Amino acid sequence: MADKCAGQELFIGIHDLPVEIYFGVVLGVPALAALILGIGALFRTAGLPNDDEPNAKNSAGG
């Protein structure tokens, strides 16, 4: 047990946190941020005319 903790602290820099939780947070936070930014981009562009339809007022039919 002491060797596991020493190796974990040496290579990852954490002591009492399980490695699975550490990597879940490290990989999960950027994925969640990308998801939120992607949804935000969809909302920003919703209702705008498409580039291939220059005469269209908006995609909602107005």
CB 12 within 8 A of CB 19: yes
Is residue 24 in some structural domain?
yes
**How confident is the prediction for the chain on average, in pLDDT?**
75
H-state helical runs in the chain: 2-11, 19-45
Is residue 35 in some structural domain?
yes
Structurally, the chain folds into a number of domains equal to 1
1 or 31: whose pLDDT is higher? 31
What's the pLDDT score for residue 24? 84
Distance from C-alpha of 26 to C-alpha of 37, rounded to nearest angstrom? 18
Is residue 54 in some structural domain?
no
- Its pTM stands at 0.50
Question: Residue 41: which domain range?
Answer: 17-46
Arithmetic mean of pLDDT, 31-38: 95
Distance from C-alpha of 3 to C-alpha of 61, rounded to nearest angstrom? 67
Q: How confident is the model at residue 18 (pLDDT cuts 50, 70, 90)?
A: confident
Is residue 10 in some structural domain?
no
What's the pLDDT score for residue 55? 62
